[in-house]
Amino acid sequence: MRLTFNKWFSRFFTKKEIRILVAKAKPKEATVLFVLFACEQLRALEVGRWVHSYIENNGTPFHVHIGMALADMYSTCGSLEDAHHT
């Protein structure tokens, strides 16, 4: 049986747990990138928006990698308007 990333990740974290992890961990760029990739794979647009808001409101450095990850996540989740404004 082939285990997709979505199924693998969802076995370890729920959307609520992702928010808690990010809020408590004071994540660095690599962590933010991983979480945004997970949001993209899970099509968790609302969590991705929350992570984006967290980045903006908590002083997480906003490098080009994070911008690209946000644009990818938004476009994959079907929010092209948000992807364009990232």
- If you search the block for the tokens 């808001």, which residue do you land on? 53
3-class secondary structure, 13: coil
Q: Is residue 48 part of a domain?
A: yes
Q: Is residue 9 part of a domain?
A: no
Q: State the pTM of this model.
A: 0.71
pLDDT single digits (tens) 15-61: 666 666 666 667 778 888 888 988 898 898 998 998 899 888 887 77
Q: Is residue 15 part of a domain?
A: no
For residues 43 and 8, the model is more confident at 43
The parent domain of residue 29 ranges over 24-85
Q: Is residue 43 part of a domain?
A: yes
Q: Is residue 8 part of a domain?
A: no
The separation between CA 33 and the C-alpha centre of its own chain, rounded to angstroms, equals 7
Structural domains in the chain (count) = 1
